[in-house]
Structure 1
């Protein structure tokens, strides 16, 4: 029986098509992998991180737009620019302690135990030390004190407190008892920070008999820091250098 050329050609094409189709199916099957739970969680985490990055960028953009709007509101004449710069200067000087300030707050008079009898284990526990004053300052800061002075010396971030025998050194100046601490802030909160049971001031007063007399004031005057402070090692970081 003879087979025509047409049938042979059809047969060859059919076989070739079958091989081609099977190869394509096999290739497609290999390109797909089963989706696992860990893969889904990993993808969700990547999406969440991307959303967070977008939110952070939106906040930065919003902040910059507000700055631009603030600048745009200026009429760009010399008086407006000088006024804005002066406002920034006053704010910076207030924070750094280089400006006289006034406002409500409290004063604290601290002095050594006035009694002749030694209350502590030795006489050193009946006198005020630099650490005692430092702990009181820390409690006042935690309570929201915005400006503090000791015997007229402004306390700033770089102010040191050193024991020098019967006196304490601050900002290079020696001061003796009584120590008068002035603090501007919410009088109620400041009083609570040195009057509440268990506070450091409470222990000084009730356990060691240290003289401690806090008083609320409607208005206090705290002088500016009179010294000079320069950074020797720290330097400002430009916006394009931030990590």
Structure 2
């Protein structure tokens, strides 16, 4: 008798539990979607990326609006045509990208390997001009306001590659031997200071390792436009 009653209680409990589960499922909002924590993070990351894209687009929109206003103001105030403005823009882009000839005051730097005797335990590479040395000097010139730079007549662009191989360097896929001659257009006093000041990298090469470095100031320097190698 006790066993039968227990079985009936279990069946009744299961029946009631089934009814409760059924009621709970029916009470769920079908419009709600339940996702995993991993999916939630993925959606949050996508939202953040979208927000950044929107911010960039808004910034671009403002820049274009300002540019359009500039064109309108110039046309009205200076009586210039759209063609005139486009030509000015083209010349400006050529100057920035290195595809125009540049003329102006500046300096000429001549660089050669050191001719001093190798001291005991000294690395022979310390007395040789490397690509990193040329790059550091060029960066110093840019920081001092140089508008155009060339190495052995080769125009330096923002993406120009400079590599050394023994006593030669390769610039824009063309190879040049010593001496390495750097022409830089800009305020000649500022450019000279960037090379000869005691704290400059060029002074370190000259005074520390005997690298030959000569600086000449010029009232007029001509730097030709970039020419693609064949």
Q: Does 1:67 align with 2:75?
A: no
Residue 59 (structure 1) shift: 10
Q: Distance in 2 between matches of 1:81 and 1:65?
A: 13
Provide, for residues 23-80 of structure 1, a one-character-per-residue CA deviation record: whole Å limited to 9, x for no partner: xxxxxxxxxxxxxxxxxxxxxxxxxxxxxxxxxx99997765443222345768xxx3
Q: Counterpart of 1:193 in 2: which secondary structure?
A: helix
Q: How does 1:159-238 map to 2 (within 5 A)?
A: 159-227=160-228
Q: Which residue of 2 aligns with 1:108?
A: 109
Higher Rg of the two aligned structures: 1
Structure 1 pair 58–226 and aligned structure 2 pair: CA distance change class (3 A):
closer
Q: Which residue of 1 aligns with 2:90?
A: 89
Structure 1 pair 129–74 and aligned structure 2 pair: CA distance change class (3 A):
same
Q: Counterpart of 1:91 in 2: which secondary structure?
A: helix
User: Unpaired runs of 5+ in structure 1?
Assistant: 1-56, 229-243
- Count of aligned pairs between the two proteins: 168
| TM-score with structure 2 setting the length | 0.67
Q: Which residue of 2 aligns with 1:98?
A: 99
| TM-score with structure 1 setting the length | 0.63
Q: Which residue of 2 aligns with 1:16?
A: none
Q: Which residue of 2 aligns with 1:231?
A: none
Residue 83 (structure 1) shift: 2.7
Structure 1 pair 67–204 and aligned structure 2 pair: CA distance change class (3 A):
same
Provide, for residues 158-201 of structure 1, a one-character-per-residue CA deviation record: whole Å limited to 9, x for no partner: 10011222211110000111000000000010011011112111
